[in-house]
Amino acid sequence: MDNILEVEHLKMYYCGKVETVRAVDDVSFHVERGETFGIVGESGCGKSTVCKSLVKMMPPPGRIVDGSVRYNGRELTTLSEGQMRAVRGGEIGMIFQDPMTALNPVMKIKDQIYESLRRQKLSKKEMYARGVELLRLVDIPEPEKRMEEYVHQFSGGMRQRVMIAITLAANPKLLIADEPTTALDVTIQDQIIRLIGRLKEELGMSVIIITHDLGVVNEMCDRVVVMYAGHIVEQAETRELFDHPMHPYTQGLIRSLPRAEGREKLEPIPGAPPNLAAEIPGCPFADRCARCTPACREALPPLREVRPGHLSACVHDDLEVSV
Amino acid sequence: MKVKVTARGGVRRLSLWQRSPSLVMGLVIVAVAVFVAVFPQLLTSADPYASDQAAMLLGPSAQHWFGTDNYGRDLFSRVVYGTRIDLLIGLGCVAVPFVFGSLLGLIAGYYGGKVDAIIMRVLDVFMAFPFLIMVIAIVAILGPGTRNLLIAMWIVGWKEYTRLIRSEVLVAKQSEYVQSARTMGYSDLRIMLRHILPNVISSAIVYAASDIVMCMGTAASLSYLGIGVEPTTPEWGAIINGGKSFINSAWWITVIPGAVLAVVGWGFSMLGDGLSDLLRADTH
Amino acid sequence: MEKLNYILKRILQMIPVLIIGILLVFALVRFLPGDTATAILGDKARPEVLAAYREKMGLNDSIFKQFIVYCQSLVRLDLGDSTQYNMPVATLLASRMKVTVLLTLMATAMTVVIGLPLGYLSGIRKDRLTDQGIRSFALLGLSLPTFWVGLMLMLIFGVQLRWFSISGWGETWIDHVKGLFLPALTEAIFAASVIIRNVRNNVVDVRGQDYVDFARCKGLGGFRVGCMHVLRNAMIPTATLLSIRIISMLGGTVIVENIYSLQGMGALLVGAVSSRDYAVVQGAVLAFILVVLAINLLTDILYSVLDPRIALK
C-alpha cells in the first residue's frame, strides 16, 4: 500500500490560559496516493482544525501535543517553520471555503499567482505565461485580461477557480480542500466539484476533501472518515459507509440528508456538539444519541473493525440499521 | 452579568478591575480631579491671585510646593484653583456639542433623505477645515475671553457626535425593535428618544471622554497663545503662557501645570478606553 | 480611466466646500461687532479716514455686490493689505507658506514612520507585553497637550542638551530640517498615537482574515505576509484617518510655530488675530482652506491607489 499521508494519534489542543480545548483528540488516518479522501462532520467538530494542523497552521494558542504526521514518509510535526513553509508552498496545497475572504482584495490576481510561483525561481515572463496557463487550466475565460483584475471583479464560482489556480501554481501533490463548495451557489458547486475531480486526474494529485455535505462525499470520495467532537467516530470506503453506516452519529447525518426519492421527512440530529473545553469521560456523542446506555458514559469507545475495512467507535456492536 | 468559564466548567464573576484596569485607573484620576475642583480650599490656604514681591520666581519648596511665578503668586494654589476652571471648560466645551450634535445625528439618521443630505453637507464643510483654525477664526470675530472661547468650541465641536450617532442610527433603524415600535404607531419623537437613542448613545459617550481631553487641551492651547481665557485667570494654559518667558530660569512654571493637565487628560483617556472595552465585551 | 473619473468627481465635490469657505471668510469681517470700518481701523481713526476706507472697500454697497467684488479680487490674487506689516497680504502669505507646508510634511512623515511600525508591532503582538507597552505609550501620547509637549521638547533638547536650534529655521535645507525637527516631532507625537491605535486594531482584524492564512499556505515568509497582506490591507482605513490628522496638524502649526518662533502661516494668523489685522486673518484662513483641500485630494488619490475597489463604489 502506497500512502502519501499518514496521521497517527494526532492531538492538537488550544492551550489557553483559562482552559484547554481538545480540538483534535487522538486522530489517526491515512491517505493513499491518488485517492480522494473525505473528512465529514458538523461545523465545529474539528475537521478543518485537523487539516490546519497537518501543515502546522493552527491559530494560537493551538499546539500539537502529541502524534505524528508523515508526508511521503517524512515526519512533519518536528519540522521548523522554515522547512514547513517549503512544504506548504510546494508539496501540500490548500483551498479555503470562502474565496471572497481567502483572496487578498487589494492585490491583482496575477500577483497572487506569482506569490505561489516564487519558489520555482521563474523569470517575469515565464511567471506570466504560467499564470495564464493556470487560469486556462481552471476554465477561466480571457485569462490574459483576468490576470490584471482584482477579486471583486470576479463572480463567486470564478473566485473559487482563481483560488484553485493559485494553489495549483505550486504544483502540490496533495490538495486539501476545506469546504470548497460551501460558500457557492448550488449550480456552481457541481462545476467546482467536477473541476477538482478532473484536475486530480490530470495532475496526478491526491485530494483531501473536508465537508459537512455528504452529497459531496458521495460524489467525490474514495474513502471517508466521520469526525465528531475532535474524534474520528467512523471510517470506511464511501460506498460501504453509505450502505452500512455503523455509528449512530453517521446514521443521524445520513438521515438528515434531503433525498430525491421518497418524501420521508428530514430528521435533524437533536442537540449540539459538546463543549470541547470540558472533560468528557465517555462517548462524546452520548448526550445526543438515542441509543445511549450507561456503558456509553464510562469510557471513550475505541475505533474497532466492525466489518471488513470498516471502523466504528461505538460500544454497541450490532447497530447496523437501515437508514 | 459578566462571567468567565474556568477550566473545570465552574463560573466566577470578574471584578471591574479584571475586566478593565484602565477604566478603574481612569475613574480614580478623574475622581481625584473632581474632588480638587470642588474643594480647592481644603488643599491650599494660599490665595491664587495674591502676588508677593518678596517671593518672585521661587523654585518648588516646602512652603511653595510648585514654586512661585514672576508675580510671586503661589503656583500650587493656582494649579489647584485652576482645576475647577479647566474641568468646567472641558465639560462646558463637550456638553453642548454632545447634546446638539447627537440630536442632529439622530434626526439625520432617522429621517434620511433631504434632511440627512443637508446636515451631512454642512458637516462635510466643517470637516474640511482644521479645528483649531476655525476656533481661532471665530475667536477673531468674537474677541478673546472664556465665554467666546466656549462659543467657538461649540460651533466647531458638534460634528463628530453627529457623524457617530448618525451611523449608529442607520443600523438601529433596521432593527426589529424599531420596526415593531413603528408598526405600533408610536410617534417619531417617541421612537427616536425612547427606542433608538438609548441604544446608540454609548458610542457618543465614549467619544465624549476623549473629547474632553481634546477640549481641555485646545482651551489651554488658546490660553497659551493669549487668545483664550483672561490672562490673570489661574487656568493651566494661561499659567504656562505666563511662564514661557522664564522657561530657562524657572522651568516649574511651565512644566508642572502641563504635567497636571497631562495626568488629568490621561485619566479621561483611560476612562474612555475602558468604557469602550466594556461596551465591546458586552456586545460580543 | 475609472480612477481618473473618480478623481475628477472628487475635485468637483470640492467646489461647493471651496465656495462656502470663501463665503465664510468673506463674512468674517462683516460679522465683526459694530461698524466694520471702525473695527478694522480702530476706534481712534478719524471719520474722513473711515469714510475713505468704506468707499475703497465698497462697504456702502449691497452685501451681494461686495461679495462679487471680493471674489473678483480673489481671482486677481488681491487679498488686501496688512495694516500691521503695510504690505499686500498675498505677498506676506507667499513668504510664510513654505515654513508651514514643510513643517506639516515633516510632521506627517514622522507620524507615519512612528505610527505604522509601532501599530503593526502592537497588532501582531496582541495582548502581549509589547502590545500593552505600545498601547500605554499611545494613550499617554493622546493625553499630552501639544503646546506643552512642544515646550518640554524645547526645554530638554533645545535648552538643556542643546541638540537642536530652537529659534528660526536657518538658511539651508539642512538647517530647515534641523530647525523643524522638534516642532514636527511635537505635532507627530499626538498624531502618531492616533495612528498607532488605529493600525493596531486594523492589524488585529486583518490577521484574522482568511487571505492571510491562505497567503501563509502558499509558503510565504512572515515578512512578506506581513507587508503584502496584513499591512497593505490594514493601511486602507488608516489612510482616511491620517488625512484627518494631517489637517489637524496643519491647524497645530498655529501653536508650534508660536513656541519655536517660526515665521509661518500659523504664527501669522495668531499675530493677526491679536493685532486685529483682519485682511491677514482672512487671507490666512483662506490659505489654510486651500491647503486642506489639496491634502484631501492627495488623500483621495492615495486611497484609490491603496484600494482598487474604491473606483467602483
pLDDT in tens, C100-112: 999 999 999 999 9
Which element (helix H / strand E) includes A206? strand A206-211
Residue B11 is predicted with a pLDDT of 43
Q: Which set of grid coordinates corresponds to residue C19? A: 465656495
Distance CA C83, CA A106 (A): 54
Same domain, C164 and C221: yes
Domain boundary (C45, C78, C111) is at: C78
Question: Nearest by CB to C211, which of A55, A102, A167?
Answer: A102
Share of chain C above pLDDT 90, in %: 35
* Chain C contact set for B213 (CB, 8 A): 142-143
- Taking the Cβ of residue B265 and every Cβ of chain C, the question of whether any pair is shorter than 8 Å is answered with yes
pLDDT in tens, B254-266: 999 999 999 999 9
CA of A201 to nearest chain C CA: how many angstroms apart?
A: 22
Residue A320 is predicted with a pLDDT of 55
Q: Which set of grid coordinates corresponds to residue B23? A: 477604566
Residue at B208 is within a domain: yes
Same domain, C247 and C297: yes
- Taking the Cβ of residue A85 and every Cβ of chain C, the question of whether any pair is shorter than 8 Å is answered with yes
Among A230-239, B219-228, C266-275, which range has the highest average pLDDT?
Answer: A230-239
Distance CA A209, CA A96 (A): 11
Strands A74-75 and B3-5: what pairing?
unpaired
Across residues B74-78, what is the average pLDDT?
Answer: 91
- Taking the Cβ of residue B116 and every Cβ of chain C, the question of whether any pair is shorter than 8 Å is answered with no
Question: Nearest by CB to A150, which of C209, C218, C308?
Answer: C308
Same domain, C56 and C151: no
Q: Which set of grid coordinates corresponds to residue A17? A: 490560559
Residues spanned by the domain of C222: 90-306
Give me the count of residues in chain B: 284
For residue B5, is pLDDT > 50? no
CA of A279 to nearest chain B CA: how many angstroms apart?
A: 8
Residue at C313 is within a domain: no
Residue C312 is predicted with a pLDDT of 53
Contact C232, A96 (CB under 8 A): no
Residue at B142 is within a domain: yes
Among B79-88, C29-38, C39-48, which range has the highest average pLDDT?
Answer: B79-88
- CA C231, chain centre distance (Å): 25
For residue C123, is pLDDT > 90? yes
Nearest to C204 by CA among B280, B232, B164, B264: B280
Edge-to-edge strand list for the sheet holding A36-40: A92-95, A174-178, A206-211, A36-40, A223-228, A231-237, A310-312, A304-307
CA of A45 to nearest chain B CA: how many angstroms apart?
A: 20
Strands A20-32 and A3-15: what pairing?
antiparallel
Listed by number, the residues of chain C in 27-56 with a beta carbon closer than 8 Å to a beta carbon of chain B are 28, 31-33
Residue at C17 is within a domain: no
CA of A211 to nearest chain B CA: how many angstroms apart?
A: 28
Question: What count of other Cβ atoms lies within 10 Å of the Cβ of residue B271?
Answer: 26
For residue C297, is pLDDT > 60? yes
Q: Decide if A150 and C232 are in contact by the 8 Å CB cutoff.
A: no
Query: In chain A, what are the domains?
Result: 35-56+76-228 (3.40.50.300), 247-323 (no CATH)
CA of A91 to nearest chain C CA: how many angstroms apart?
A: 10
Residue B4 is predicted with a pLDDT of 43
Q: Decide if A277 and B9 are in contact by the 8 Å CB cutoff.
A: yes
Residue-wise burial string across C181-205, b where 16 or more C-beta atoms lie within 10 A, e elsewhere: bbbbbbbbbbbbbbbbbbbbbbbbe
Closest Cα in chain C to B236 = C148
Q: Which set of grid coordinates corresponds to residue C303? A: 486611497
Residue at C25 is within a domain: no
Same domain, C144 and C183: yes
Nearest to A240 by CA among A316, A312, A309: A309
- Taking the Cβ of residue A107 and every Cβ of chain C, the question of whether any pair is shorter than 8 Å is answered with yes
Residue at B153 is within a domain: yes
Q: Return all residues near C65 (Cβ < 8 A) that are at least 6 apart.
A: C58
- Taking the Cβ of residue C19 and every Cβ of chain B, the question of whether any pair is shorter than 8 Å is answered with no
* Chain B contact set for C248 (CB, 8 A): 130-132
Distance CA A242, CA A225 (A): 12
Residue C47 is predicted with a pLDDT of 84
Chains that touch A (3 or more CB pairs under 8 A): B, C
Q: Decide if B129 and C148 are in contact by the 8 Å CB cutoff.
A: no
Residue at C212 is within a domain: yes
* Chain C contact set for B255 (CB, 8 A): 152, 155
For residue B123, is pLDDT > 90? no
Residue B267 is predicted with a pLDDT of 93
Question: Nearest by CB to C216, which of A57, A105, A116?
Answer: A57
The total of structural domains in chain C comes to 2
Residue type at C127? D
Give me the count of residues in chain A: 323
- Burial (CB count within 10 angstroms: exposed 0-12, middle 13-18, buried 19+), residue A240: middle
Distance CA A148, CA C2 (A): 15
Reduced to 3 states (helix: H, G, I; strand: E, B; else coil), residue A75 is strand
Same domain, C70 and C107: no
Q: Best of C126, C211, C213 to disrupt the A interface by mutation (most A CBs within 10 Å)?
A: C211
Same domain, C213 and C70: no
Phi then psi for residue A48, to 5 deg, are -70, -35
Question: Nearest by CB to B240, which of C142, C151, C270?
Answer: C151
Residue at B9 is within a domain: no
Q: Map grid coordinates 483559562 to a residue.
A: A18
Same domain, C126 and C206: yes
Euclidean distance between the first and the last CA atom of chain C, given in angstroms as a whole number = 14
Same domain, C163 and C247: yes
Same domain, C100 and C228: yes
Residue at C5 is within a domain: no
CA of A153 to nearest chain C CA: how many angstroms apart?
A: 9
Segments in chain A forming alpha helices (H):
47-54, 81-88, 99-102, 109-117, 124-137, 143-147, 156-168, 186-203, 214-220, 238-243, 248-255
Residue type at A270? P
Residues spanned by the domain of B32: 20-282
Same domain, C170 and C58: no
CA of B165 to nearest chain A CA: how many angstroms apart?
A: 29
Residue at B262 is within a domain: yes
The mean-pLDDT minimum among A117-131, B101-115, B173-187 falls in B173-187
Residue type at C224? R
Q: What is the DSSP letter of C158?
A: I
Residue at B13 is within a domain: no
CA of C248 to nearest chain B CA: how many angstroms apart?
A: 5
The total of structural domains in chain B comes to 1
Listed by number, the residues of chain C in 179-238 with a beta carbon closer than 8 Å to a beta carbon of chain B are none
Segments in B174-251 forming alpha helices (H):
176-183, 188-190, 197-225, 236-243
Listed by number, the residues of chain A in 196-215 with a beta carbon closer than 8 Å to a beta carbon of chain C are none
Q: Decide if A89 and C220 are in contact by the 8 Å CB cutoff.
A: yes
Could you give the ipTM of this predicted complex? Answer: 0.85
For residue B1, is pLDDT > 50? no
Residue C1 is predicted with a pLDDT of 66
Question: What count of other Cβ atoms lies within 10 Å of the Cβ of residue A28?
Answer: 16
Reduced to 3 states (helix: H, G, I; strand: E, B; else coil), residue B273 is helix
Q: How confident is the model at residue B7 (pLDDT cuts 50, 70, 90)?
A: very low
Closest Cα in chain B to C249 = B130
- Taking the Cβ of residue C251 and every Cβ of chain B, the question of whether any pair is shorter than 8 Å is answered with yes
Q: What is the DSSP letter of B4?
A: E
Listed by number, the residues of chain B in 5-44 with a beta carbon closer than 8 Å to a beta carbon of chain A are 5-7, 9
CA of A17 to nearest chain B CA: how many angstroms apart?
A: 9
Query: Which CATH number is C119's domain given?
Result: 1.10.3720.10
- What does the pLDDT profile of chain A (323 residues) look like in tens digits? 589 999 999 999 988 777 888 888 889 999 999 999 999 988 778 888 888 888 888 887 888 989 999 999 899 999 998 899 999 988 999 998 888 889 999 999 999 999 999 888 899 999 999 999 999 999 999 999 999 999 999 988 899 999 999 999 999 999 999 988 888 888 888 899 999 999 999 999 999 999 988 888 988 999 999 999 889 999 999 999 998 898 989 988 888 777 655 556 667 777 777 888 877 788 888 888 888 888 888 888 888 888 888 999 888 765 555 44
Q: How confident is the model at residue B76 (pLDDT cuts 50, 70, 90)?
A: very high
The mean-pLDDT minimum among C108-117, C121-130, C185-194 falls in C121-130
CB-defined contacts A:C, below 8 A: 76
Residue at C83 is within a domain: no
Chains that touch B (3 or more CB pairs under 8 A): A, C
Euclidean distance between the first and the last CA atom of chain A, given in angstroms as a whole number = 33
Q: How confident is the model at residue B172 (pLDDT cuts 50, 70, 90)?
A: confident
Q: How confident is the model at residue B10 (pLDDT cuts 50, 70, 90)?
A: very low
Q: Which set of grid coordinates corresponds to residue A238? A: 464511501
Same domain, C149 and C274: yes
* Chain C contact set for A108 (CB, 8 A): 308
pLDDT in tens, C41-90: 777 778 888 888 888 777 777 888 888 888 888 888 888 888 888 899 99
Query: Which CATH number is B209's domain given?
Result: 1.10.3720.10
Q: Decide if C217 and A93 are in contact by the 8 Å CB cutoff.
A: yes
Question: Nearest by CB to B262, which of C17, C145, C258?
Answer: C145
Distance CA C164, CA C229 (A): 39
For residue B8, is pLDDT > 50? no
* Chain A contact set for B6 (CB, 8 A): 18-19
Distance CA A42, CA A210 (A): 11
Residue B28 is predicted with a pLDDT of 95
Q: Decide if C211 and A152 are in contact by the 8 Å CB cutoff.
A: no
Q: Return all residues near C244 (Cβ < 8 A) that are at least 6 apart.
A: B127
Closest Cα in chain A to B7 = A19
Q: Decide if A93 and C219 are in contact by the 8 Å CB cutoff.
A: no
pLDDT in tens, B141-152: 888 888 999 999
Contact A211, A176 (CB under 8 A): no
Distance CA A272, CA B227 (A): 67
Q: Map grid coordinates 428618544 to a residue.
A: B193
Distance CA B221, CA B240 (A): 9
Report cis status (omega within 30 of 0) of the bond before A59.
no
Q: Decide if B221 and C255 are in contact by the 8 Å CB cutoff.
A: yes
- Taking the Cβ of residue B233 and every Cβ of chain C, the question of whether any pair is shorter than 8 Å is answered with no
Domain boundary (C25, C57, C78) is at: C78
Q: Decide if C213 and A102 are in contact by the 8 Å CB cutoff.
A: yes
Same domain, C73 and C116: no
Across residues B119-139, what is the average pLDDT?
Answer: 84
Residue at C19 is within a domain: no
CA of B174 to nearest chain C CA: how many angstroms apart?
A: 22
Sign of CA pseudo-dihedral A294, A297, A299, A302: positive
